[in-house]
Amino acid sequence: MTISSLALGPASPALGRRCQCGSGGGRTWRPLGASSLCMSHGLEWHRRVAARVVAPAASLSAVEEIDQGDAVDRIASLSQVASVLGTQWGDEGKGKLVDVLARNFDVVARCQGGANAGHTIYNAEGKKFALHLVPSGILNEETLCVIGNGVVVHLPGLFQEIDGLESNGISCKGRILVSDRAHLLFDFHQVVDGLREAELANSFIGTTKRGIGPCYSSKVIRNGVRVCDLKHMDTFAQKLDTLLRDAASRFEGFKYSVDMLNKEVERYKRFAERLEPFIADTIHVINESILQKKKILVEGGQATMLDIDFGTYPFVTSSNPSAGGICTGLGIAPRCLGDIIGVVKAYTTRVGSGPFPTEILGKDGDLLRVTGMEFGTTTGRPRRCGWLDIVALKYCCQLNGFSSLNLTKLDVLSELSEIKLGVSYMQNDGEKVSSLPADLRLLEQIQVEYEVLPGWQSDISSIRNYNDLPESARRYVERIEELVGVPIHYIGVGPGRDAIIFK
């Protein structure tokens, strides 16, 4: 890969954001900031925004050590329906931001994916929780957590998470709703996932083997079993029999018997009884919440570079972790969407196979992995590490229309004397590649052009005010903003709940 140091360019022009007033002025744009005006509503919008900005957050215990004025401004001024999505290949730290923001929202909802998501969060005492299906808002007692229709649900895993939370004093009763339209992920889906990976041999995808792909496959070929089917156990056995026979006919290593079916049916009769209080028409719940002016925070799983349509296919997940998945996975109309926050690490990681243009190989990559504790929450696998890929990040910003970014793990770079940003792609003949190519053969041969910025080589983990960051750290943050054209409003400087800077 070619490495060069480029001159820093001028800052991007001021950005705008669509008015969220819900009027016919939906195509009106306004500058970002608390004093913004909606061109349709003038001073009325100004007053409403100002009122939201100065209103105190429901609870700021998680950010006690942060500049509280900045925290209240950033959190309270978010739109009624806001979303947090990943911008890379997952593991960016979405759960932490959701946990911090959730105390100012009534509902936190998952819209896609399954237990392949691994969101690590910490409570006020510093205790660590690794969540896979339960939304990260669960630590906030007043928050309702919704698992939407776009999620595939492994009930044994869900109950294990709930039991773990309850055993640590976190009440889940009446606080978790599961969509009656969500598809059930069975143990056999996980078996099939492993058989499929083995079948691919050296071309394996590198999945979590949590059965996500096979479950979505069942959904798409229309023989899947949904949560609402648990209410009709008289036909449940027949539907499950169809699924199991299909798997046995496809994979020689999958052994199916009537005894297996009977045991699974009896097991799911017990599951159905336990799940019954959690089942709801979440599309109705979400849309009624919107009408009642309740605030909804959407928590994405995985990330855009793993999107089944927009990611590095076929080395992707089986759902849409991009903005479109919010609408299809929760039943929210596009016009209701407001702020969409993209979460991006200060460097890049990915788990599993697939192209990775800015990957750092050898001891330097190992150093970043150890410093950043880059091992998967879901699988424990070591993550591949590399420099921040600006080309891929711009691509994700274009697809999702992010209103702001959360730059995480800035503290991990603190020991480096210089830091690189992958700012452009070139083919071997020197021809520039303007965007992320769909052709993986081309992507694997890409030469990356880098900007080299000075490191700050000092501990920033205790800093809570942006202006207190070393000049080189601020320069790094602001250069990313200039290159992608989206403001960075949140900066992570450590794993703890309070280790966040509001910019």
Residue 342 is assigned to a ligand binding site: no
Residue 358 is assigned to a ligand binding site: no
Residue 264 is assigned to a ligand binding site: no
The torsion angles phi and psi of 29, rounded to 5 degrees, stand at: -110, 145
Calculate the alpha carbon distances from 159 to 172, 278, 397, 427, 459 in Å.
11, 11, 36, 50, 40
At 154, the amino acid letter reads H
Q: Is 426 helix (H, G, I), strand (E, B) or coil?
A: strand
Spatial contact of 383 and 206, defined as CB atoms under 8 Å apart? no
* Distance from C-alpha of 237 to C-alpha of 404, rounded to nearest angstrom: 48
Residue 46 is assigned to a ligand binding site: no
For residue 9, give the H/E element and its range.
Answer: none
Residue 381 is assigned to a ligand binding site: yes
For residue 163, give the H/E element and its range.
Answer: helix 155-167
Report which DSSP code applies to 443.
Answer: H
Residue 118 is assigned to a ligand binding site: yes
Residue 166 is assigned to a ligand binding site: no
Residue 389 is assigned to a ligand binding site: no
Residue 91 is assigned to a ligand binding site: yes
Please identify which of the residues 91, 106, 193, 339 carries the catalytic annotation.
91
Calculate the alpha carbon distances from 277 to 153, 160, 172, 181 in Å.
16, 16, 11, 15
Residue 154 is assigned to a ligand binding site: no
Residue 143 is assigned to a ligand binding site: no
Please identify which of the residues 183, 219, 295, 394 carries the catalytic annotation.
219
Residue 241 appears among annotated catalytic residues: no
Please identify which of the residues 70, 99, 106, 119 carries the catalytic annotation.
119
Residue 119 is assigned to a ligand binding site: yes
Say how many C-beta atoms besides its own lie within 10 A of residue 316's C-beta. 23
Residue 119 appears among annotated catalytic residues: yes
Residue 411 is assigned to a ligand binding site: yes
Residue 117 is assigned to a ligand binding site: yes
Residue 338 is assigned to a ligand binding site: no
Render 326-349 in DSSP notation, one character per residue: HHHHHT--GGG---EEEEEESSEE
CA atoms lying within 13 Å on the CB side of residue 440 = 12
Residue 485 is assigned to a ligand binding site: no
Spatial contact of 441 and 408, defined as CB atoms under 8 Å apart? no
* Cβ neighbours of residue 201 closer than 8 Å, sequence gap 6 or more: none
Residue 344 is assigned to a ligand binding site: no
Residue 208 is assigned to a ligand binding site: yes
Q: Spell out the SS3 assignment of 220-260.
A: HCCCCCEHHHHHCHHHHHHHHHHHHHHHHHHCCCCCCCHHH
At 438, the amino acid letter reads A
The residue count of the chain comes to 503
436 is written with which tokens?
A: 């992320």
Q: Are strands 119-122 and 128-131 parallel, antiparallel or unpaired?
A: antiparallel
Residue 378 is assigned to a ligand binding site: yes
Residue 91 appears among annotated catalytic residues: yes
Residue 295 is assigned to a ligand binding site: no
At 16, the amino acid letter reads G
Q: Please give the annotated binding residues, written as ranges.
A: 90-96, 116-120, 208, 222, 302, 317, 377-383, 409-411, 492-494
What residues are labeled active site? 91, 119, 219
Q: Please give the annotated binding residues for Mg(2+), written as ranges.
A: 91, 118
Q: Please give the annotated binding residues for GTP, written as ranges.
A: 90-96, 118-120, 383, 409-411, 492-494
Q: Please give the annotated binding residues for substrate, written as ranges.
A: 377-383
Q: Please give the annotated binding residues for IMP, written as ranges.
A: 91-94, 116-119, 208, 222, 302, 317, 381
